[in-house]
A and B are shown apart, each in its own frame.
Chain A
Amino acid sequence: MNQVINESNQLKPSLSMVFKAKISWNLIGLMPAYLMMFLLMIIPLGIIFYVSIMTSDPYGGYQSVFSLESYQQILFNYDWDDNLSLNLQYLIIIARTLILAMLTACICLLISFPVAYFISRQSNSTKTLLLYLITLPFWVSMVIRVYAWVLILSNDGVLESSLRFFGLVTDLDSLLYNNSAMLVGMVYSYIPLMILPIYASIEKLDVRLTEAASDLYSTRFKTLTKIILPLCKPGIVAGFILVFVPCLGTVLEPMLLGGGKTMMLGNLIQNQFSIARNWSFGASLAMVLLVIVMLFLMWNASKSSRPIVEGSIK
């Protein structure tokens, strides 16, 4: 008995020592996470930044000579007389990328909201099935899925031949290799990323709130705009980011559906590292893309910095 008491007394000081050392222990415990972030995020980004401010080697790779030429190249060209002249070519690609990404996100939103709302109002088993169907495309390689659209949209493809079969068109310009084809492919590829977060926020919405609204003389449309949409805003914003940001860097759709004729930022960067062998220029374009994404996310964060009041109704 006495021995036990003594032991517990001996334990006390060692315990308090552990508490004093708490902070450093926390740091050690979180080390794997910090390490992962450092190795997989900070270092690669650092390398890209480093390459972007070096001189590119004409045979691929780069030479360790400091130069901002690759950034200059985005906006300016040397003409025959070795004078700098404005070159809009790359700006147009950046603008096209932004517009197409924005359009994709908007179209996805318009389609996703009714779909997500419909799913959330089904019975539990139907819900599971429908959500499973929405995630199903992810089980197939993205390349194959985008190729499927090539088959659908190509000359004498599924769409054109069926339109012709029903006599709806007689002569048709190619549906493939233009901006619309890229847009269709992007909407198709990224729409699940919009449906899922919106579904999650609608699912949390209390049906009684819509009943309360209609009890207070609100029409269906007013209930949608005043109650449902504001309360689903977190899901809509999340979905928008999840679609918009990857669209900015997308490679497959412009390559396969744009036919390489209409460039987007993603495949422009890819080209610099492969065909053009201009690593520094590719890296600086990647940095520009990163800055665009960061600016967009910061703008979004500042807009939603007002705390979104969590539902108090349980």
Chain B
Amino acid sequence: MSIAIKINNISKSYGSYQALNNISLEIKDNEFFTLLGPSGCGKTTLLRMIAGFETPNAGIIQLHGEDIQSLAAHKRKVNTVFQNYALFPHMNLEQNIAFGLEMIGWGKDRVAARVNEMLNLVHMQQFAKRMPSALSGGQQQRIALARALAPEPKVLLLDEPLSALDLKLRQAMRDELQQLQRDTGITFIFVTHDQEEALAMSDRICILANGDIQQLSTPAEIYENPANKFVADFIGETNFLAVDVVKKGAKQPLTIKTPLGIDLELETDSQMGFNQLIEHQKCHATLSLRPEKISINSQGLDINLEGTIVQRTYMGGYTHYTVRTQNGQNLKVSKRNQISNNPSYSINEIVNIGFLQSSVRVLTQ
């Protein structure tokens, strides 16, 4: 698969504030690529650089192998869906969608046909003559999409397009966006701070924080094998435990001393960060264990502990428990409320909790 966007050693600073710190990444053709991070992490800056609204201090941006650094925004074959849609308030929907096509000099008939096609694509054909102010947020969103897709861009940039919508609409638009991306085959670069949105839609996610790439991988890989403490914390929920990693002997596996009062063995493939450990040395690290990987009163698990339920939050599909172990550690446990197996535990009830050793992740940073 060819590379749609190649970003090479991009840096950007505003005064003393380093917005992007030597970022390099490649976005494949036909990919749904997400830039995810907390606000101020530089994700929007990166997107605006691809669109041509910001200039990096250093580095190269290539679109299909062509350096677009020197091109003005209106000459780049990328289109943007803006956060608040930025529909032209003095034009009706048809005129909004036709704007880009007229600017690249399409003929009248061709523009009309394409506008009609785009209105059909977003199911808005009956509103063609309406003004943007007469539309709901979701409808404006669709028109913004249609307007950006109309000139057949090679890459579509989406700057938090769902953040202004309410929850139900947001979830519906997620599916529509994914469908649209598959149908059009255009590379989507999606910026969001909503980790759920990123996990649901993306082929690959790049997590940015403090101007650095924290991890770039598939949603499942990022959730299951977070690269560091930041990623584990930012994506989903997790239990963090401060642990010591100890090397007992030359040929022996590393041991993790946990505050739960049990020792675990570190799997060999996740030893990278601890290679420099010499015998009888120890090293501080963080253990991450997802709440749904812990089960209550189940059989056949590697690690079993006894604890007391101290808090219970009913969430509908799930119930979140906080279990205090005998060592006084609080562990978050998430339990799905299934029909067949729906025991509920009350506060102060003593339970057995268990998890698989393979569910444990040890993070150096």
Chain B associates with chain A: yes
Q: Write the residues of chain A forming the contact surface with B, with a CB cutoff of 8 angstroms.
A: 206, 208-209, 211-219, 222, 226-227, 230-231, 308-314
Q: Which residue of B lies closest to A217 (CB)?
A: B103
Among A216, A222, A231, A312, contact of B133 (Cβ-Cβ < 8 Å): A312
Q: Nearest 8 A-B pairs (CB), nearest first? A: A216-B100, A312-B133, A212-B86, A217-B103, A208-B86, A214-B74, A214-B73, A311-B89
- Assuming the A-B contacts A208-B84, A211-B53, A212-B82, are A218 and B72 also in contact, with contact meaning beta carbons closer than 8 angstroms in the complex? no
Q: Are A309 and B73 in contact (CB under 8 A)?
A: no
Assess the A218–B84 pair: CB atoms within 8 A.
no
| B133 and A208 within 8 A (CB) | no
| Contacts A/B (CB < 8 Å), 20 sampled | A208-B86, A212-B88, A214-B73, A215-B51, A215-B52, A215-B73, A216-B99, A216-B100, A217-B75, A217-B103, A218-B74, A218-B103, A219-B74, A231-B89, A310-B133, A311-B89, A312-B89, A312-B132, A312-B133, A313-B89
A219–B104 CA distance with the chains assembled, in angstroms: 10
- Nearest CB of A to B98, in Å: 10
- List chain A residues, Cβ under 8 A from B82: 208, 211-212
Distance in Å from the Cβ of A295 to the closest Cβ of chain B?
28
Contact, CB under 8 Å: A215 / B87: no
Q: B99 and A213: CB pair below 8 A?
A: yes
Residue of B73, B74, B133, B148 with most partner-chain A CB within 10 A = B74
B74 touches A313 (CB 8 A): no
Against A, the Cβ 8 Å flags (1 = close, 0 = not) of B141-167 are 000000110010000000000000000
When chains A and B are docked, how far (Å) is the Cα of A265 from the Cα of B100?
50
Question: In whole angstroms, how far apart are the Cα atoms of A312 and B82 in the complex?
Answer: 14
Docked-complex contact A313 and B73, CB < 8 angstroms? no
Query: Once the chains are docked, how many angstroms separate the CA of A92 from the CA of B321?
Result: 92
B80 within 8 A of A: yes
Question: B residues 74-119 with Cβ under 8 Å of A?
Answer: 74-75, 78-80, 82, 84-90, 99-100, 103-104
| Residue contact B90 to A312, C-beta cutoff 8 Å | no
Min CB gap A32→B, angstroms: 36
Quick check: B72 and A209 within 8 Å, CB to CB?
no
How far is it, in angstroms, between the C-alpha of A215 and the C-alpha of B103 when the chains are bound?
Answer: 10
Would B104 and A217 count as touching, CB distance under 8 A? yes
Q: Chain B: which residue is nearest A307 at the CB level?
A: B131
A218 with B90: CB separation less than 8 A: no
- How far apart are B50's CB and chain A's nearest CB, in angstroms? 11
Residues A214 and B90 in contact in the complex (CB < 8 Å), given A208-B82, A312-B133, A313-B85? no
Residues of A with C-beta under 8 A to B30: none
Q: Is the CB of A209 within 8 A of B86?
A: yes
Judge if B225 is at the interface, Cβ distance under 8 Å: no
Nearest Cβ on chain A to B187's Cβ, whole angstroms: 16
Q: Smallest CB–CB gap between B95 and chain A, Å?
A: 10
CA A230 to CA B52, docked complex, whole Å: 25
Closest to A215 in B: B80
B151 close to A217 (CB less than 8 A): yes
Residue of B51, B53, B99, B133 touching A218 (CB-CB under 8 A): B99
Task: Verify B100–A217 contact, CB threshold 8 A.
Answer: yes
> Within the assembled complex, what's the spacing in Å between the Cα atoms of A188 and B84?
41
Inter-chain CA distance A227–B133, complex, in Å, is: 16
A21 to B338, CA, bound (A): 65
Q: In the complex, which residues of chain A have a beta carbon less than 8 angstroms from the beta carbon of B148?
A: 215-216
Q: Does B288 contact A (CB under 8 A)?
A: no
Closest B residue by C-beta to A219 = B74
Contacts of A230 in B (CB 8 A): 90
On chain B, the residues within 8 Å of A222 by CB distance are 103
Closest A residue, CB atoms, query B79: A215
State A219–B87 Cα separation when bound (angstroms).
18
Assess the B72–A214 pair: CB atoms within 8 A. Answer: yes
Which B residues are in CB contact (< 8 Å) with A216?
74, 79, 99-100, 103, 147-148, 151
B140 within 8 A of A: yes
**Contact present for A312 and B103 (CB under 8 Å):** no
Question: Which listed residue, B53, B90, B147, touches A309 by the CB 8 Å rule?
Answer: B90
Q: Nearest A residue to B89 by beta-carbon distance?
A: A311
Contacts of A209 in B (CB 8 A): 86, 88-89
Q: Which residues of A contact B103 (CB under 8 A)?
A: 216-219, 222
Closest-CB distance, B5 to chain A (whole angstroms): 16
Docked Cα-Cα span, A218 to B98, in Å, equals 12
Residue of chain A at shortest CB distance from B164: A314
Distance to closest chain B CB from A312 (angstroms): 3
**Which residues does chain B contribute within 8 Å of A226, judged by CB atoms?**
99
Contact, CB under 8 Å: A312 / B87: yes
A212→B89 contact, CB < 8 A:
no
Chain B, range 30-63, C-beta contacts under 8 Å to A: 51-53
Cα–Cα distance between A213 and B53 once the two chains are bound (Å): 12
User: Which B residues are CB-close (under 8 A) to A208?
Assistant: 82, 84, 86
**Nearest B residue to A227 by beta-carbon distance?**
B88
A157 to B147, CA, bound (A): 59
Beyond A216-B103, A313-B86, 5 extra complex contacts between A and B, CB < 8 Å: A208-B86, A211-B86, A217-B74, A217-B103, A219-B74
List residues of chain A with CB within 8 A of the CB of B132: 309, 312-313
Q: How far is the CB of A242 from chain B (nearest CB, A)?
A: 23
A308 CB contacts on chain B under 8 angstroms: 90
With both chains docked as a complex, state the minimum distance between the C-beta of B87 and any C-beta of chain A, in angstroms.
7
Chain A neighbourhood of B53, CB < 8 A: 211
Residues of B within 8 A of A231 (CB): 89-90
For B53, give the chain A residue with the smallest CB separation: A211
Q: Which residue of A lies closest to B72 (CB)?
A: A214
Residues of B within 8 A of A310 (CB): 89, 133
Neighbouring B residues of A313 by C-beta, 8 Å:
84-87, 89, 132
- Nearest-neighbor residue (CB-CB) of A218 within chain B: B103
B241 to chain A minimum Cβ distance, whole angstroms, is 45
Shortest distance from the beta carbon of B149 to any chain A beta carbon, whole Å: 11
> Cα distance A227–B102 when bound, in Å?
14
> Please, which residue of chain B has its CB at the minimum distance from the CB of A216?
B100
Report the minimal beta-carbon distance from B167 to chain A, rounded to whole angstroms. Answer: 20
Q: Could you say which residues of chain B place their CB within 8 Å of the CB of A309?
A: 89-90, 131-133
Question: Which residues of the partner chain A approach B88 to less than 8 Å between Cβ atoms?
Answer: 209, 212-213, 227
Identity of the chain A residue whose Cβ is nearest the Cβ of B97 in the assembled complex: A216
CB contacts (< 8 Å) of B99 on chain A: these are 213, 216, 218, 226
The CA of A309 and the CA of B82, in the complex, are separated in Å by: 21
